[in-house]
Amino acid sequence: MNDVERIPTYVKGLDELMEGGVPKKHIVLVCGHAGTMKSSLTYSIIYNAYKDRGIKSVYLTLEQGKDSLYTHMEKLGMPSKGVDGVAIIDLAKIRKDVAMDKAKAEKVDWLKSIISVLKHYKERFGFDVLVLDSLAALYALTTFKNPRAELFYFFERLRELDITIFLISEIPTDRNVYGLYGIEDFLSDGIIHLKVEQTDAGANLYLGVVKMRTTNHTRSFMPLIFEDGRFEVVQG
């Protein structure tokens, strides 16, 4: 045993296979193709962390708008309107407006702005876990001159927030990487990979913990199911 403090994933069957969960202050990539339940899974972690332990979170979305996210989570049995321990910062609309106007987008340093919004929010509201949904959406706003250097710098600023961070990384279906620039995996402390496999019976979802620093963890991909409002991995 080690005495690292952890945040459980609240995926039934998984936490005991990774010493109780994700070490606090880790930056963890949650990656997979579209529709692999990345948003649902990370939301379920912060939703349950607040219900179970009073841990406060921020879900910063550049993808689904706030209303759509609320409806989605309510359908999954996680009603969140008015739950003040799970705050949604909705930049999805701003992102869409900006996407229409490239010249405007280029005037804003999005990486810097997002860090400053988060810093400000942390001082005011105080939160311990961040979900950023998604890296791909953030990249779409950013004009990188030197992506590797700028991403390195961005991860350093994220670390200075001194909280646990889940970065959702949507992988294009034609590529086999964890992040679009191929360096997100080594800049992160952990990688949770979600993938779909087609079988005769339909499409099955699998979860694998590919990397988790300071943790003894399973490396096997296990079927991930969602039932009665909670995630569960099935061990073979």
> Residue 213 and residue 29: Cα distance in Å, rounded?
12
Shortest Å, Cβ 129 to ligand ADP: 17
- Return the amino acid letter for 218: T
Beta-ladder partners of 194: 207
In the block, which residue shows the tokens 């379920």? 44
Shortest Å, Cβ 38 to Mg ion: 5
Instruction: Indicate the residue among 63 and 115 with the shorter CB distance to ligand ADP.
Output: 63
Residue 204 partner contact from ligand ADP, Mg ion, none using kind-dependent CB cut-offs of 5 to 8 Å? none
Given the rule CB under 6 A, which residues bind ligand ADP? 32, 34-40, 76, 226
In the block, which residue shows the tokens 């606090």? 24
Instruction: Indicate the residue among 14 and 37 with the shorter CB distance to Mg ion.
Output: 37
Instruction: Indicate the residue among 17 and 132 with the shorter CB distance to Mg ion.
Output: 132
Instruction: Indicate the residue among 26 and 38 with the shorter CB distance to Mg ion.
Output: 38
Q: Does 39 bind Mg ion (CB under 5 A)?
A: yes
Residue 35 partner contact from Mg ion, ligand ADP, none using kind-dependent CB cut-offs of 5 to 8 Å? ligand ADP
Per the CB < 8 A criterion, the answer to whether 211 and 201 are in contact is no
Beta-ladder partners of 90: 61
H or E segment at 164? strand 164-170
Give the max Cα distance, the chain.
53
Label the pairing between strands 190-199 and 129-133.
unpaired
Residue 37 partner contact from ligand ADP, Mg ion, none using kind-dependent CB cut-offs of 5 to 8 Å? ligand ADP
Instruction: Indicate the residue among 195 and 217 with the shorter CB distance to ligand ADP.
Output: 195
Q: Which tokens is 187 given?
A: 């800049």
Shortest Å, Cβ 37 to Mg ion: 8
Label the pairing between strands 57-61 and 86-90.
parallel
Residue 34 partner contact from ligand ADP, Mg ion, none using kind-dependent CB cut-offs of 5 to 8 Å? ligand ADP
Which residues are near Mg ion by CB under 5 A?
Answer: 39
